[in-house]
A and B are shown apart, each in its own frame.
Chain A
Amino acid sequence: MQFRLERRREPSRFMLYATPVAAVLLTMIIGAIIFSAIGFDGIGAVREIFLTPLTNSYKWQDLGVKAAPLIIIGVGLSISYRANVWNIGAEGQYIMGGLAATWVALASHGAGGWWTLPAMMLAGTAGGAAYGAIPALLKTRLNVNEILTSLMLTYASVQLIYYLVRAPWKDPMGMGFPQTRRFASEALLPNIFPGTIVHAGVPIAIIVALVAWFIMSRSVFGYQMRVVGAAPHAARYGGFSENKTIWLALLVSGGLAGLAGMLEVAGPFQRMVPGFPTNYGFTAIIVAFLGRLNPLGVIFAGIVMAITFVGGEVAQTTIGLSNSATGVFQAMMLFFLLAGDILVRYRLRRVAPQTEAGI
């Protein structure tokens, strides 16, 4: 008996939704088996990583706060990837957004007001978009591969943080430690539920995803992005400009990453520190794929990723599972998810062997 992959006429909608769920379930089952086999508490690990964050209502606020930046960046990236523009420098755009917002917060320190947060938001979005504009410019003008430029720029931006917090922006009262001063209260995001840590970034993330979903599925802009991505040649005949799409994709994904950077620095961080780059930009790439490049799917995916992060810490404290084991679990989930992709576009057909000696 042999199996053969056969291309589907249309991507399977069932598989589109079923494979991410199956990937998570498979990770739980196979993860439990493998980890038990090598001497860990495999079932406990799965329970603590995947279930405890969901069943313990106290953890929900953590999930929201951890998922919010992943969702915002993931939404921007899914729009970009739909258009076949491979921005993998969201981490750098997130950093530049955070730095631009920090600049506003520091410059207005002591002279801020109601306008400080909106100004920081604008600056953050603009900072991220501007950093996304560099690969866009190079791609449209000189046809330079955006995957490579956006990645390189990310590593340069990390060094920019280190420099700024070590030298010109260093907190004068901070005992020489490399970090900025704590932002004034006008420059801090308000908590929306008293007594929790849920800040304004969480509802913003949901709104961003919903708006993006609406635009992508219901507007000419969304149609253009999807057409250029799916069939660039057809799009050219349809009068859609490929260059315009590249610009839009990088500005939108960069801008949203910058917005996420602003929300993080003004929300949980409250000052710029060298530890600001927390890989949200890279994790969001995975979130975008886990969410099937659909803004609503990205909400789901962002929460799933947040569960594994939060659950990984739970597992460390409750069953002593090391941090590295959580990384292996995450990678395993991604592998299953990526492997499942093919079932969306192909179906598995059983074929009878044609000749006995054929193999």
Chain B
Amino acid sequence: MTLELVIAIIVTVVGASTPILIAALGELVVEKSGVLNLGVEGMMLVGAITGFVVVFTTGNHYLAILLAAGAGVATSMIFGFLTLSLSANQTATGLALTIFGTGFSALAGQGYSARPVTLLGPLFPAELAAHPVWRVLFGYSALVYFSFVMVFAVWWFLKKTRSGLILRAVGENDHSAHSIGYSVVAVRYGAVAFGGAMAGIAGACFPLLLTPQWAERMTAGRGWIAVALVVFASWKPFRLLAGAYLFGLVMTMELYAKAGGGPLSAIPAELWAAMPYLATVVVLVLISIRRDASSNAPACLGRPFLPSN
């Protein structure tokens, strides 16, 4: 394997990993607050069509990212209102949100399918990325750097800030947090909205970063991979970063192996595709055996909060 090929693979892996990393970072914060939103795929699709339409009509990629985030927030608020204000079941609401996002994005996207747009260009001037080695560092669009910054930001927020501490407390023991005066519902609304914004941006990565077009259901299950990834990373931002790149590598290496031959190409496609999910189950088992890490799972995950007033 030449250095150039290695660099090329890295660049492709970065592209494949970025949307699942962004979506999973949002879902991590949501889950840390004790809420399980299974509507990531649906919110991503709403973000994807929003991003596409904005870039198609205005040509402004940054506006597209911003509005995709907004659309993600709006979609997530349906989930938030039902599960937080009306304490509806989170699992069922999340699934319904995915049905909604799939249908809504397809409806909104009718007539946009034969329309090309342009990808978001690299953030840094081309001279910086001219050499292949520098390309690995400076050759990407802003979305990629955004995902790295957000890894750090989420870590910092959860670990170092008071708000992060409150958010974790709410996810760990909602009744205690409530009794010492924190608004469980308000904190969770904030987390769900952040999750929606990140899912919207992750969806916008598809037309802006990966393949500049709109196609129905173009996220093709990446939202579920993001849900798996949060668990795989045992709710830790830096592990999430590593996990996203591992998943991205698995998704990408299959194609490089098949296109280039070699021993890896003998692995059936189906095993490649199942690997992220199986690995997640294995990680779940491992963190449960090592009790110290399992405490990282938010204790209230998926349970509705019903104040006993």
Instruction: Please report A residues at the B interface, Cβ cutoff 8 Å.
Output: 7, 86, 88, 138, 142-145, 147-149, 151-153, 155-156, 159-160, 162-163, 166-167, 282, 285-286, 289, 322-332, 334-335, 338-339, 341-342
Contacts and interface: CB of A to CB of B under 8 A. Distances in A.
Contacts of B89: 289, 338, 341
B8 interface: no
B231 A327 contact: no
Interface in B101-120: 102-107, 110
A128 B235 CA distance: 30
A160 B280 CA distance: 17
A285 to B, nearest CB: 6
Contacts of B97: 331
B277 A155 contact: yes
Contact of A282 (B78, B95, B103, B216): B95
A162 B91 contact: no
Given A282-B95, A339-B88, A148 B82 contact: no
Given A147-B301, A335-B96, 6 more contacts: A138-B288, A155-B224, A285-B91, A335-B78, A341-B89, A342-B88
Contacts of A166: 270
B259 interface: no
Nearest to B36: A147
Contacts of B277: 152-153, 155-156
Given A167-B268, A339-B86, A148 B280 contact: yes
A142 B86 contact: no
Contact of A148 (B86, B221, B284): B284
Among B105, B274, B294, the most chain A Cβ lie within 10 Å of the Cβ of B274
A153 B281 contact: yes
Contact of A144 (B110, B224, B288): B288
B227 interface: yes
Contact of A328 (B88, B103, B284, B309): B103
21 contacts: A138-B281, A149-B284, A152-B231, A152-B281, A155-B224, A155-B277, A156-B281, A160-B270, A162-B270, A324-B103, A324-B216, A327-B100, A327-B102, A327-B103, A327-B104, A328-B103, A331-B100, A334-B92, A334-B99, A335-B78, A341-B86
B273 A324 contact: no
Contacts of B227: 151
B107 A159 contact: no
B287 to A, nearest CB: 9
B110 A159 contact: no
A181 B48 CA distance: 40
Contacts of B105: 324
A334 B98 CA distance: 11
Interface string B259-276: 000000000111101100
Interface in B61-83: 78, 81-82
A45 B92 CA distance: 25
A163 B288 contact: no
A152 B82 CA distance: 25
B285 interface: yes
A29 to B, nearest CB: 18
A335 B89 CA distance: 11
B92 A286 contact: yes
B306 to A, nearest CB: 8
A155 B225 CA distance: 10
B100 A152 contact: no
B303 to A, nearest CB: 9
